[in-house]
Amino acid sequence: MKTTRSRSIVSNQNAPHPELETILRRHQTTPFRKPIARHTAQAFAAVDTIVHKRSAPLILDSGCGTGDSTQRLAEMHPHHFVIGVDKSEARLSKNPFYSPLPGWLMASKHRDFQPDEASAQPSNLANNLFLVRADVIDFWRLALEHNWSIDKHYVLYPNPWPKKRQIKRRFHGHPVFFDMIRLAKYIELRSNWQIYAEEFAIALSIVAHQKIAAEEIKVVQHYFSPFEKKYAESGHRLFRVAAEFRL
């Protein structure tokens, strides 16, 4: 069966955006006051209940899509509790570990949730992963507000918003960027668009006051998801920004 190749990103921008630092400085001094969406507040409250019953350190997989990357992270970090967040019910529903709230929560909310208990999600992997439908921007703000202690934060292949005028839709050009990077002591972003990765690295460098660079992933030994595999097999160059710091 013929495999469909992923289309390359087309943009009218051929270098990091010249207004990136100006946008960052403006957002740094202007509070982000957009109201939290009710559906994300409810989803977060449900997950927060589970998190507080766990002693395991947290890993956040933001924009997890079908949750394959969350499963991969859970396999790589068996002693962590890995939370995958995506806004799309259609994408999440493709994963057997996903069960819409509050149904999953109802199965365990009247008793203490322990890592070795059988859960409503199938397989042993359910012991250390959870998939939730929510808007990541609001989810990050709530996680920060509730003082979640997150070891690692992964943002894998976000929507690149490739048009030059869409810079403020990219995470590093969005007002939520400062909340996003305060969530965890380690953050890793991957992208198949070099400019996105370079801009993200520049933004981190400005805020963290240290040199952070984007690097090309020459060889992928273990793909995080079918999407990463598809990008690689379609001939896309893959880039990674990884940083460890505390603001």
Closest by CA to 187, choosing from 153, 155, 217, 149, is 153
CB neighbour list of residue 104: distance below 8 Å, 6 or more residues apart:
119, 120, 121
Chain centroid, CA 29 distance in Å? 25
Q: Cα separation of 206 and 52, whole Å?
A: 34
pLDDT given for residue 246 in this prediction: 78
Query: Kind of pairing, strands 150-156 and 81-86?
Result: unpaired
Q: What residue spans define the domains of the chain?
A: 38-109+116-244
What single letter denotes the amino acid at residue 101?
L
pTM reported for the whole predicted model: 0.89
CB neighbour list of residue 20: distance below 8 Å, 6 or more residues apart:
167, 172, 173, 199, 202, 203
Q: Cα separation of 139 and 179, whole Å?
A: 10
pLDDT given for residue 119 in this prediction: 35
pLDDT given for residue 3 in this prediction: 57
Instruction: Please spell the DSSP secondary structure of 18-72, one letter per residue.
Output: TTHHHHHHHHHHS---PPPPHHHHHHHHHHHHHHTT--SPEEEEET-TTTHHHHH
pLDDT given for residue 189 in this prediction: 98
Token couple for 236? 């896309």
Q: Which residues of the chain, if any, have pLDDT below 50?
A: 1, 103-123
**For the structural domain made of 38-109+116-244, what CATH number should be given?**
3.40.50.150
CB neighbour list of residue 19: distance below 8 Å, 6 or more residues apart:
167
pLDDT given for residue 179 in this prediction: 96
pLDDT given for residue 123 in this prediction: 45
pLDDT given for residue 55 in this prediction: 87
